[in-house]
Amino acid sequence: MRTVLYCVCVLLVACSGKKAKKHIPLNDMKLIVWDMIKAGEWYNVTTVKDTTARKRKEDIRLFSQVLTVHGITRDEFYSSYKYYEAHPVEFKVLIDSLDAYSAREKNAESERKAKSH
């Protein structure tokens, strides 16, 4: 009986100490994923020219920098990403917002190029 009571107390203390993890809000997650995509693109272009970048694990460094810039940890990013994957409606909104953001960025880039010529 004492053992059961002890286990229940330990579980209660352990569970009460945990804070409910919140996922990264959609607009913030959109910007983080966008920066991850851009870092991945930059890495792919760089490794075509510089094959030693793979050996230096440049991609991991870039992705870590993106997370640092956004003030989050790797675990926070992955747990939020898993949250969105587990919630298809919200994941679709995230992907759709990334698509719209990409279109706006392309339009802005086209306008900048047109003004400079």
* Average confidence (pLDDT) per 10 residues, the chain, 117 residues: 35 41 92 95 83 77 95 97 97 96 90 83
pTM for this predicted structure: 0.73
Count of CB atoms within 10 A of residue 59's CB?
17
Give CA–CA dist 94/84, Å, rounded.
Answer: 8
- pLDDT number for residue 18: 43
- pLDDT number for residue 114: 86
Q: Which domain holds residue 28?
A: 22-116
Within a domain: 55 = yes
Within a domain: 96 = yes
Number of domains in the chain: 1
Within a domain: 9 = no
Length of the chain: 117
Within a domain: 10 = no
